[in-house]
A and B are shown apart, each in its own frame.
Chain A
Amino acid sequence: MKILILGANGMLTPYVTHALEKEHELRITDISDLSGDKEYKNHEVLQVDITNLEEVMSASAGMDAIINLAVVRHDLKMAFNVNSIGCYNMMVAAQTHNIKRVINTGPHWVVSGQSYEKYDFDIHPDIPTHSGTGLYAITKSSGQEICRIFAENHNMYVINLLFCHLRAPFEPRMAVRPDDFWPFSVAKNDAGTSFLSAINVDFKKLASSCESFFITASLPHNQYSNTKAKEILNWHPSNNFEKYWKRSAKN
C-alpha cells in the first residue's frame, strides 16, 4: 500500500515508519524539510504544509491511505489551522483522489476531556465526545468531527487513534516524581504498531465509517479501556509498564 504521512516531524513518526516500512511504501511529509533526515533516507520525503489545500492535494495523488500526525498544541491560530482545517484539507484530498482509508490521530481528550477524565472510570472511545474548551482538545476534536462528516457523506473510512502519554520503554516521564504513572500510557514502539493494525484492519470489522480507538497499554486501573483496539484492530501492546503499578515487578 502507498501511504502518505502528514505532519511527520514529531516524536511518533520514527516508530510509525518502523512499523510500516517493511510492508508499505511511505511518502513522508512535514512543513519542515526532512529530506536530510537519516531516519527517512529510504523513503520519499516531501515538504508539505497541511494548512495548504493545494499542497495536501498534490501530496495525496497516487496514495492508498493517509496518516495524519500533524499537531499544534498552544498557538491559537495555528492550532485551528493545523488541527482542524488541516483535517478538512486532508479529507478533501482523500475524497478527490478516492483514498478510502484515513488514519487520524489526537489526544484522548478529543473524546474524553476534563469532564470525563477527572471523574470517571471504564472510559471507552465510543462515549459521546466531550473535548471541553482547552485549545488542543477542541481543535483536535473539531478536526475529528470534520473527518467524521466527510466519512459519513463520501464513502470513506476514518480510523482515529487516540493517545495520551507516549513513552520510550524506560523513559522517565515529565513529572514531579519520575515513578508517577498516568493510566493512559503506551510505549512508543507499541504506538507504532497500532498504525500497522489500523492500516491492515478490514473495513467490514468497523461498526461505522468513523471509529475511534484508545491506544494505551493494558492497565489494571480501570480508567481507560483499550479493549476495542485489541478486539477490532487486533492490536496488542507488548509493554504494560508493570514496574509502575506492580510491586513484584518493581525491581
Chain B
Amino acid sequence: MKIFLTNSQSSLIQTTEQWLGRIHSVGMVNDFLQEENQSKILMKNADVVIHSLSDDTETGIKNKLEESMEQTYTLLSLCIEMGIKRFLFLGTLDVLNAYDPDYIVDEMWKPKPTTEMKLLTNHMAEFVCKEFGREHHIDIRVLRLGEICWENQSPSNSPLFVIDALQAIQRAVEIDLPSPSYIPNVPNTWNIFHIQSLTANMRFKISKAEDELGYTPQKVEL
C-alpha cells in the first residue's frame, strides 16, 4: 500500500514511518499546509493518509487551532479530490478524561474536552473528520491513543506501549471494515477505536479494536 503521513517531527510518527515502511511505501511531511506541493506529490495514488496533530509545545495557539481544523479540513478535501480511500486520525483518549475515573468508557461515550489546547485541538480535528465520515466519501478511522510509553513501565492509567500503537495503526491501515449487516449497502466510513495496552481493570474499553481490527495488545503490569 502507499501511505502518506503528516506530523513527521513526532517521535511516534517517525517510528510509524519506519514500521510501516518495512512492507509499504511511505512518505511524510511535517506540516501539510506549509508543504502542500510536496504533500500532493506524496499523496498521488496513495491508499491511506495518516494524520495527527503536532505535540510541539513551542507552536502558537493560532497555529495549533489552524492545524486542528483548517489543515484537517483541507487534507480531507484533497484526499477526496485525489480519490484516496482511507484516512486515519490519531487522536487521544484524553478527550474523555473528564469522566469519573471509575467509569468504564468506550467509543459510545460523548467526548468531554476541556479548553486545554491539546484536548481542544484533538477534539476539533475529530469534529471536522466526523462531518466527512458522515458524507461517506472517504473511510475515516479515529484511533484515540492512550499515553504513549517508550519505556517498559508506565504510571499512566491508559498506557500505550509503542509496539501496541504500531500494531493498532498497521491494522487500521490494512484492514477493510465491512458495513454492518443491517445496512449492507451503506459504506462504513466513520469509526472510532480506543487504543491502549492491556492493564488490570481498564478505564477505557478496547474491545471494538480487538473485535474489528484484530488488535491484540500487550499485558502491562502496573
Contact = CB atoms under 8 A, between A and B. Distances in A.
Interface of A: 51, 53, 76-77, 80-81, 84-85, 88, 91, 95, 113, 115, 130-133, 135, 138-139, 141-142, 145-146, 149-150, 153-154
A141 B130 CA distance: 12
| Interface class of chain A by DSSP | helix
27 contacts: A53-B61, A76-B70, A76-B74, A77-B70, A80-B66, A80-B69, A84-B69, A84-B70, A85-B65, A85-B69, A88-B61, A88-B65, A91-B115, A95-B115, A132-B131, A132-B134, A132-B135, A133-B73, A133-B76, A133-B131, A138-B128, A138-B131, A139-B69, A141-B127, A146-B124, A149-B114, A149-B120
Interface in B57-98: 61-62, 65-66, 69-70, 73-74, 76-77
Interface in B87-125: 113-115, 120, 123-124
Given A76-B70, A80-B66, A84-B69, A153 B128 contact: no
B65 A84 contact: yes
A241 to B, nearest CB: 32
B69 A153 contact: no
Given A85-B62, A85-B66, A145-B124, A150 B131 contact: no
Interface of B: 61-62, 65-66, 69-70, 73-74, 76-77, 113-115, 120, 123-124, 127-128, 131-132, 134-135
B124 A80 contact: no
B70 A149 contact: no
B120 A142 contact: no
Which 5 residue pairs are nearest across A and B when measured between Cβ atoms?
Answer: A80-B70, A85-B65, A133-B131, A153-B114, A84-B69
Contacts of B120: 146, 149
A130 B115 contact: no
A142 B113 CA distance: 14
A115 B131 CA distance: 10
A153 B98 CA distance: 10
Nearest to A83: B69
Contacts of B134: 115, 130, 132
B85 to A, nearest CB: 17
A132 B127 CA distance: 11
